[in-house]
Structures are given as structure tokens and as C-alpha cells.
Structure 1
Amino acid sequence: MRRRARELAMRALFAHTQGGVDLEEALRHALEEMGGEDDPYGDPLDEEGVAFARRLLFGYKAHQEEVDRVLKETVEGWDFGQMSKTDLTVLRLAAYEMLHEPTPFAPLIEVAVKIAKRYGGEHSGAFVNGVLGRLFRRIQEGEVKAAPKED
């Protein structure tokens, strides 16, 4: 359920940032698309899943400046203009979740990599994994503060 919720959030944030679509409208549209005929992973999301996606989206928007700053400091050799917009969207949501949600790091990173592979290019999974791994190390070393994690 959380993987699908993260996909929903990614699709909505992508439409919002790349298409200039209002965030609520982007969420509504992405939710309509998910589970439709064009979606081979047609599992519907329940209310809890939609609420989690909404929390990620609006949480990122509330902390956008901080999350983007941390990502810029973490990514080596790339700036946001050079990155795939899909990869950047996945990274923004995963970084928000790493910094502000109680989700344990390992499953969060694993799902972000899967989403990047599904929606991104040939090297998206490895790229996202590398950036989030670097962010994880920065958190472990105390360079970046993160919310306490669930066991």
C-alpha cells in the first residue's frame, strides 16, 4: 500500500512541478489514472494510502526549501537542471520522508529505487540509490538531522 501511495505522490508532484498543475488537482488526476486501464499495477489505493500520499506531498511542499538544500548538498556532480525530472521528483519525496517521517530508511530507499526504475531511465535506480545512500550516511554521521525512525 505504501509503495502505491509513494507512486501516487510522485506522479502528482511531477505533474505539479513540471506541468504547473495545482497540487490538489495533480493529486486528483494522478489518483484517477492509477488503477485505470493504462496502469498495469492496477491495485486501488484505500483511504489510508491516499492520506499517506497527501502527507508526503504536502509535507514536501511545506519543507521544500530545506529538502532541496539538503539534496543539493548531497548530490555530487549534478545540479537540478541536469537531472532527470523523474529522478529529481523521486529524490525530493524520498528525502522529505527520510528527514521528516518515522519510516525506517531501508524500506524507504528500496521503494524509491523501484519507483525510479519503473518511471525513470536506464540508470535511474542506481542514481537514486546512490544519492539516498549518501543522504543516509550524512544522517548517520550527524551532518543532517532526521526524524526518529520506527523499529
Structure 2
Amino acid sequence: MLRRARELAMRALFAHTQGGVDLEEAFRHALEEMGGEEDSYGDSLDQEGVAFARRLLEGYKAHAEEVDQVLRDTVEGWDFAQMSKTDLTVLRLAAYEMLYEPTPFAPLIEVAVKIANRYGGEHSGAFVNGVLGRLYRRIQGGELKAVPKED
């Protein structure tokens, strides 16, 4: 369920940042599209999932400058203009969640990689995994603060 919620948030943020669509309008449109899609993982998108997706979007929006700066400092050899916009969108939401949500790191990174593989290019999953792995090491090393994680 949370994987589908993260996918919903990613699709809405992508439409907002790349298409210039109002965030709420992008969210409604992405939710409408996903409501009719079959999901190969068998996950449903219930009200709890919709609320979680909205929380991720609102959280990223509130912390966008900090999250983007953390990503700029974490990504090696790329700037945002060179990156796939899909990969950047996945990274923005995953980095927000790693820093500001109590979600454990391992499942969060795993789902981000799956979403990148589904929507991105051939190497998107590996790229996202590498960046989030570096971000994880920065957090674990005490260089960055993150909210305590659930067990």
C-alpha cells in the first residue's frame, strides 16, 4: 500500500515540477489515473495510502530547499539539469522521507528503486540506489540529522 502511495506522490510531483501543473491538480489527476490501473504487486491505494502520499508531497514542499541542497551535496558527478527528471523526482521524495519521516531506511530505499525502475530509464534503479545509499551513509555517519526511525 505504501509503495502505491509513494508512486502516487512521485507522479503528482513530477507533473507539478515538470509540467507546471498546480500541485493539488496534479495530485487529483495522478490519483484518478492510478485508480484505474492494475498493480502487478497486488497493492491497493486506500484512503490511508492517499493520505500518506499527500503527506509526502506536503512535506517535500515544506522542506524543498533543504532536501534539494542535501541531494546536491550527496549526488556525485551530476547536477539537477543533467539528471533524468524522473530520477530526480524519486530522489526528492525518498530523501524527504529519509530525513523527515519515521520510515525505516531499507524498505524506503527498496521501494524508491522499484519506482525508479518502473518509470525511469535503464539505469535509473541503480542510480537512485547509489544516491540513496550515499545519503544513508551520511545520516548514519552523523553528518546529517534524520528523525528517529520505526522498528
**TM-score past 0.5 threshold:** yes
- Percent identity reads 87
Counterpart-to-counterpart distance in 2, 1:66 and 1:15: 21
- What's the secondary structure of 1:34's corresponding residue? helix
- What's the secondary structure of 2:35's corresponding residue? coil
How is 1:129-144 mapped onto 2 (pairs within 5 angstroms)?
129-144=129-144
Task: Tell me what 2:147 maps to.
Answer: 147
Task: Tell me what 2:45 maps to.
Answer: 45
How far 1:92 moved relative to its partner?
A: 0.1
How far 1:40 moved relative to its partner?
A: 3.6
Gaps (5+ residues) in structure 1? none
Q: For 1:8-52, what per-residue CA distance to the aligned partner results, in whole angstroms no more than 9, with x for missing partners?
A: 00000000000011111000000000032xx34285411100000
1:98 aligns with 2:98: yes
- Structure 2 counterpart of 1:83, which letter? M
Counterpart-to-counterpart distance in 1, 2:53 and 2:12: 9
TM normalised by structure 1 equals: 0.96
Pairwise CA RMSD of aligned residues?
A: 1.0
State whether residues 60 and 93 of structure 1, in contact with CA within 8 Å, keep that contact through their aligned partners in structure 2. Answer: yes
Counterpart-to-counterpart distance in 2, 1:22 and 1:59: 16
State whether residues 34 and 44 of structure 1, in contact with CA within 8 Å, keep that contact through their aligned partners in structure 2. Answer: no
How far 1:129 moved relative to its partner?
A: 0.1
Task: Tell me what 1:63 maps to.
Answer: 63
TM normalised by structure 2 equals: 0.96
Counterpart-to-counterpart distance in 1, 2:66 and 2:24: 22
Q: For 1:74-132, what per-residue CA distance to the aligned partner results, in whole angstroms no more than 9, with x for missing partners?
A: 00000000000000000000000000000000000000000000000000000000000
Return 124-133 or 44-53, whichever deviates more: 44-53
1:32 aligns with 2:32: yes
1:127 aligns with 2:136: no
Counterpart-to-counterpart distance in 2, 1:75 and 1:34: 30
1:23 aligns with 2:23: yes
State whether residues 4 and 45 of structure 1, in contact with CA within 8 Å, keep that contact through their aligned partners in structure 2. Answer: yes
Moved over 3 A (4+): none
Task: Tell me what 2:118 maps to.
Answer: 118
